Amino acid sequence: MENTQQFINANKQRFLDELFDLLRIPSVSADPKFKGDVLKAAEFLAEKLKVAGMNNVELMATDGNPIVYGEKIIDASKPTVLVYGHYDVQPADPYELWTSPPFEPEIRDEKIWARGACDDKGQTYMHVKAIEAMIANNELLCNVKVIIEGEEEVGSVNLNPFLEKYKDKLKADVVLISDTSMIANDCPSITVGLRGLSYMEVEVVSSNRDLHSGVYGGAVANPINVLCEMIASLKDENKHITIPGFYNDVRELSADERKGLNSSPFNLEEYKKELKLTEVEGEKGYTTLERTSIRPTVDVNGIWGGYIGEGAKTVLPAKANAKISMRLVPNQNSEKISNLFAEHFKKIAPKSVTVKVTAHHGGEPVITPTDTVAYRAASKAMEKTFGIVPLPGYEGGSIPIVASFESILGLKTILFGFGLDTDALHSPNENYGLFNFYKGIETIPYFYQNYAEMSK
């Protein structure tokens, strides 16, 4: 790996410049107005896979955004790594809260600031450049196939059919994904647990039109008040979720497992300070680390209704809406929970309103095993570049496709993320450390080396 590492070192600025070009493309998959940019990002990555020396590079059509594919088969007897990433990004609004514009990347404080800097353009691009470095130096020791999709931020709705259709083409031995974070730069970790997601949208309607709150207030149900009451009732005074059956399938960790989880370095005062929290809040009986990893949640992601302009308008609105999502843990099932939510939410609605509940995309919670060759190869790679054995980590976010790789392709996944919790994913001022970007590129080749050797 000597030559590969030298190559990486010699091309650091070029790698960064290229990433900046990718970050300048506002490939927001949730918003149809960025459709053209989404495609542009796909084309950009296809071009870079070709430059990296990969073969059979193409944009593979789906019912939505195309999936970028490339492969490099060096020897059929060697193990094959399937790399997954995504080129779409979250919406960047509210724009006014960004210090620098979300699609004009810049370096400040040794960090790259842009929407997608980490999630997942920065992390995906580490793989593209590591592969380029290995191929250029004849040091690629496994076969590699890359798929980069454009709908991860909207639920990867077309990925499962794609995996089904191209089962043979995508044959591999392990999936490698960098779309998670480590505990800290001096405390690397490999994610082994991920929460799932159910994402709902609700509408509460009372009357056929907005009304004057003076004339009708008090007698006609106010859909905002009603929605608030319904949302409030979703948790009890211990912040325990009240949806019947919600916890039925939740895997309770053993005392030892909880002890292990809580031994991760974590400083509550620093956590509060970093986020300017007056106090943390969550389910009674669990620590902050547990609340964000092994316990399910109900969070309102958005709410709107009535008059939200300047000044005062005495309207009794006709309807109110909210986006409400639930983070799930093993062994909850996203569809089951979505159905439980929908059933419960309609049931608790008072007679004075009509309620509509629709489900957005969901994702299944995941636990990846640590007793595999691939995990040991990843662990050893990090040990090599960080000088420390990485811890197994639990994360609160969701990567729904991990479950799909297992069920459709029969493959385990290594969540080989180099981000940090402070990277402000999905928030204004998303960023990614230069340290992390380059450390990822350096570490990835060792994974291939270890995996090839250990698989013998």
Quote the CA–CA distance of 222 and 318 in Å, as a whole number. Answer: 8
- Dig out the tokens for 367 from the structure: 């636990």
* Buried b / exposed e along 315-338 (16+ C-beta atoms within 10 A): ebbbbbbbebbbbbbbebbbebbb
CB 333, min distance to its own copies, A: 17
Which member of 306, 336, 356, 455 binds its own copies (CB under 8 A)?
306
Binding mask 54-93 for its own copies (x = CB under 8 A): ------------------------------------xx-x
Which member of 229, 257, 383, 406 binds its own copies (CB under 8 A)?
229
Quote the CA–CA distance of 431 and 170 in Å, as a whole number. Answer: 32
Quote the CA–CA distance of 162 and 170 in Å, as a whole number. Answer: 10
Task: Give the interface segment with its own copies, choosing from 30-38, 42-50, 382-390, 447-455 (CB under 8 A).
Answer: 30-38
Quote the CA–CA distance of 90 and 70 in Å, as a whole number. Answer: 24
* Residue 35 binding its own copies, by CB under 8 A: no
Residue 133 and residue 441 in contact, taking contact as beta carbons nearer than 8 Å: yes
CB 214, min distance to its own copies, A: 3
CB 97, min distance to its own copies, A: 7
- Dig out the tokens for 358 from the structure: 């629709």
Tokens 């319904």 belong to 230
Residue 448 and residue 173 in contact, taking contact as beta carbons nearer than 8 Å: no
CB 7, min distance to its own copies, A: 34
* Residue 361 binding its own copies, by CB under 8 A: yes
Which member of 109, 309, 371, 456 binds its own copies (CB under 8 A)?
309
CB 191, min distance to its own copies, A: 11
Which member of 121, 145, 291, 380 binds its own copies (CB under 8 A)?
291
Which member of 26, 79, 397, 440 binds its own copies (CB under 8 A)?
397
Binding mask 154-173 for its own copies (x = CB under 8 A): xx------------------
- Nearest-CA neighbor of 18 among 59, 48, 54? 48
* Residue 275 binding its own copies, by CB under 8 A: yes
* Residue 4 binding its own copies, by CB under 8 A: no
Residue 173 and residue 81 in contact, taking contact as beta carbons nearer than 8 Å: yes
